């Protein structure tokens, strides 16, 4: 899906892959996706020279593109095989969306900031990504029309699990969600078993707050 990588970024991307492996990322499909998707196209020109650092970067509208390790770990927790329907909450820059498009059969992505979703839509079209659908709206409500989903991945921190996610997750499906306060959270993976969600805590994280009816109020 990605085009030819500029030579000046090739070495930086490979060093990022080595860094992620050193930090414990083992899923080769995830690492291959990170190697294929050109992260520098998803960050502002002013920070492009830092695109392959393992660091979060600002993307405008008060939002960030997450640290590559956090993207890799979160996606790895979904345990994708290539056949799944995945709901992404928080399209943001579109970078994680592009990674998911490499790893799942179909991706449905919801973003509340119009400027961000339009930029992401343009970038993914330029990359000829065809298995992604996008919706401008309240991500805490999910996207009921196309559920249930085999995986749900959320790029913002919530005070609790929004009811919509539990309802729209398929039996045996996984929800990856940062849960905690507005400033700091724990990255959690929930597995749906009947009417219950089994929770496993993974690592402390810092995400922007999940704003909406099922999350934090604005402000």
- Per-residue pLDDT tens over the stretch 114-137: 999 999 999 999 999 999 999 999
Number of CB atoms found within 10 A of residue 150's CB: 22
Say how far apart CA 101 and CA 82 lie, in whole Å: 9
pLDDT at residue 1, rounded to an integer: 45
DSSP β-bridge partners for residue 188: 177, 201
Q: What is the Cα–Cα distance from 22 to 39, expressed in whole angstroms? A: 20
Mean pLDDT score, 134-150: 98
Contact 124, 159 (CB under 8 A): no
Is pTM beyond 0.85? Reply is yes
Q: What is the pLDDT of residue 2?
A: 45
Give dist(CA 185, CA 132) in Å, integer: 28
Instruction: Say if residue 87 is exposed, middle or buried (CB neighbours under 10 Å; 0-12, 13-18, 19+).
Output: buried
With CA atoms as reference, report the closest residue to 104 among 81, 87, 120, 123: 81
Q: What is the pLDDT of residues 48-79, one digit of tens each?
A: 999 999 999 999 888 889 999 999 999 999 99
* Strand 196-205, strand 149-154: pairing: unpaired
Candidate list 66, 74, 93, 109, residue with the active-site label:
66
The per-residue pLDDT for range 83-106, each reduced to its tens digit, is: 999 999 999 999 999 999 999 999
| Structural domains of the chain in order of their starting residue, each with its CATH number | 7-205 (3.40.50.150)
109 assigned to active site: no
């Amino acid at each position: 899906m990605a085009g030819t990588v500029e030579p000046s970024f090739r070495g930086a991307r490979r060093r990022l892959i080595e860094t992620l492996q050193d930090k414990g990322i083992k899923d080769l499909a995830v690492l291959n996706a990170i190697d294929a998707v050109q992260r520098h196209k998803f960050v502002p020109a002013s920070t492009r020279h830092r695109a392959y650092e393992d660091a979060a970067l600002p993307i405008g509208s008060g939002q960030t593109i997450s640290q590559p390790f956090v993207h890799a770990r979160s996606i790895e927790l979904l345990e994708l095989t290539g056949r799944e329907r995945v709901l992404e909450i928080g399209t943001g820059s579109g970078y994680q969306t592009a990674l998911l498009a490499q790893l799942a059969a179909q991706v449905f992505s919801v973003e509340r900031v119009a400027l961000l979703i339009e930029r992401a839509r343009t970038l993914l079209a330029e990359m000829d990504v065809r298995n992604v659908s996008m919706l401008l709206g309240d991500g805490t409500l999910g996207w009921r029309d196309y559920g249930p989903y085999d995986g749900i991945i959320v790029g913002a921190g919530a005070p609790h699990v929004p009811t919509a996610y539990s309802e729209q997750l398929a039996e045996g499906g996984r929800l990856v969600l940062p849960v905690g306060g507005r400033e700091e959270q724990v990255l959690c993976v929930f597995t749906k078993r009947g009417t219950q969600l089994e929770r496993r805590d993974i690592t402390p994280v810092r995400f922007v707050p999940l704003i909406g009816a099922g999350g934090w109020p604005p402000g």
